[in-house]
Chains A and B, each alone.
Chain A
Amino acid sequence: MIRAMVPVLLALVVACGGSAGKVDQAVTIAKEIREKPDEAEKILGAHQMTADQWEALMYEIASDPAMAEQFEAGLQKK
């Protein structure tokens, strides 16, 4: 029973870690963009991201209440 649960738990951990990682990355980028709005495109480039990918990430975060909350909280932190 425990053995059967291990893959499931691992998958959950990976999934949670994945979304948290995405949000963390988004928060990092967003803070940089807010500091230097005129260099938004350059900042995205430095993070190997295009504007389309950034928009897709924003859509993904916005659609998930937990991620959106985490994103909002992350931006409020100094």
Chain B
Amino acid sequence: MRSMILHAFAIGLVAAPMVAHAAPAAIEASESAADRRTPNERILGALTLPLKAQALRKAGVGEGEVKAGLKAAKDKKLPAGDAAEVLDEAAKATRDHGPVDNFGAFVQAKLDAGLRGRDLAAAIREEHAARGKGKGKSEGKGPPEGKGPEAKSDGPPHGGPADDKGPEGKGPEGKGPDGKGPDGKGPDDKGPPGQDAAEGKAPGDKGPNGAGAAEGKAPGDKEPPGKAGAEGKAPDDKGSGNAKNGKANEKAKPETAGK
């Protein structure tokens, strides 16, 4: 009995420091990822920071926001290469979803919360996806209308692209260039399957075939009867598929055609 107590005590003495070290090690894990870079990698990463900052400015983020984001990163002693990655992610997200308010404050908050590297980049992308003043909202960058309705729910709530799509206006899940939805076409599709979707027409399109009309016609749409939207999409309910090719702008403006 006595020896058991002694053994337990000895094990406790050995294990206690290990337990004490475990928690800080976990906390520092994300920070040490940056430290694992070689000096050369660090220097090369830093080199891109001004370029990424310029890209962010060109994407449409205000100067104050860019500066605030940089200041937050610098204050937190974020390596310049990591800051460059963050700005790069923000620039991409801004191009896809539009700018968000208080970008600098958001970055500051996430840095305060301990986010770094990929986690921070992912948080920025999510923030833009959720609150970006999406360009798609006002420019008719709708989803491929030939899609089935279930595919629509995959899109981000503001109508911006869920992720990077191909240049041909493919749907959020990488549908083929024929613009078909996950099932090939939506339940109410008439006419050539998903033809408009491939061309990126907005919900208000008045195509001769009415193809791609399945996803929500506004009452004023001049589509053939019986092709009105199965889901009652609002006229401004655009999605992502055509953000890249810009054909939505040429073919139909939802503000005018989809009401």
Contact = CB atoms under 8 A, between A and B. Distances in A.
Interface of A: 26, 30, 33-34, 37-41, 44, 51, 54-55, 58-59, 61-63, 65, 67-69, 71-72, 75
Interface in B111-167: none
Contacts of B74: 59
A65 B67 CA distance: 9
Nearest to B42: A51
Nearest to A30: B47
B43 interface: yes
Interface of B: 39-40, 42-44, 46-47, 49-54, 57, 63, 66-67, 70-71, 73-74, 79-80, 83, 87
Contacts of B63: 65
Main secondary structure of the interface of A (DSSP, over half): helix
Contact of A41 (B40, B52, B67): B40
Contacts of B71: 63
B43 A40 contact: yes
A72 B43 contact: no
Nearest to B47: A30
Among A55, A61, A68: residue with most chain B CB under 10 A = A55
A23 to B, nearest CB: 9
Nearest to A76: B51
A69 B40 CA distance: 24
B39 to A, nearest CB: 5
A44 to B, nearest CB: 6
Contacts of A40: 39-40, 43-44
A62 B83 CA distance: 10
8 contacts: A33-B43, A39-B40, A58-B50, A58-B80, A62-B49, A62-B70, A63-B66, A71-B51
Given A63-B70, A63-B71, A55 B53 contact: no
Given A55-B46, A68-B50, A68-B57, 4 more contacts: A37-B44, A51-B39, A62-B52, A65-B63
Contacts of B67: 63
A51 B87 CA distance: 20
B54 to A, nearest CB: 5
A67 B50 contact: yes
A72 B79 contact: no
